[in-house]
Amino acid sequence: MTKLLEAGALKKASEAAINGWAGHEGALASELQTTTKISEAFLKRWLSCWMLARSNPVSFRPALAEFLSVRARTRIVRANDDEVPAIVSSLATEIFTAGAAKTKQTSLISKFAFSLRPETVAPYDRRARIGLGKR
């Protein structure tokens, strides 16, 4: 019975992920993949779509847009597939030390990397950690 419930939950989660990617997430990812300079207007839309706006206040957005454009995007795009997870981890800490965020931002960087390289990395956040912990 438990395996059936887990399979049903997994099916629902995968359907939701596919629908999200077919909508705003995928459209924003396509836009991100074709631009080199992340504007604050784009960043606002992207943060809202990924439910990251509250954890990234407006006062940090100019520095955040610059960090993502210059440091994060370049490293993620140029990396070999097997290097991306380590880069995500490193950038999650660097974003804070660079003054572009008020805390370490693993969720933001993993979702940003996923938007740039969906075939290479999966988005990772507190909900994913909780789910993995239950498994």
Domain residues of the chain, as ranges?
Answer: 2-134
Q: What percent of the chain has pLDDT over 70?
A: 74
Give the mean pLDDT of 79-100: 95
Quote the pLDDT of residue 9. 63
Q: Across the chain, what does the average pLDDT equal? A: 84
Of residues 107 and 130, which shows the higher confidence score?
107
pLDDT digits (tens, 9 = 90+) for 111-134: 999 999 999 887 776 655 555 456
- Residues 6-45 have pLDDT tens digits of 666 666 665 655 555 556 787 888 899 998 899 999 999 9
Give the alpha-carbon dihedral of 10, 112, 81, 83, to 10 degrees. -110
* pLDDT at residue number 99: 95
pTM: 0.81
